């Protein structure tokens, strides 16, 4: 019996760059519970 780890908080460093900002948009759009 194992549980799947589902983080509720993430930290993004460098979120002002192109890749970081797109990653943040992706996470917010696809995983609103985070």
> pLDDT for 1-34, tens place per residue?
678 887 778 777 766 788 878 888 898 899 887 7
CB distance 15 to 21 below 8 Å: yes
CA atoms within 13 A on the CB side of 13: 0
Q: What is the per-residue pLDDT for 15?
A: 61
Find how far residue 29's CA is from the centre of its chain: 10
Cα separations in angstroms, 13 against 1, 2, 3, 31: 34, 31, 28, 18
């Amino acid at each position: 019996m194992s549980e799947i780890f589902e983080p509720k908080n993430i930290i993004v460093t460098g979120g002002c760059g192109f890749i970081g900002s797109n990653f943040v948009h992706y996470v917010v759009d696809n995983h609103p519970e985070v």
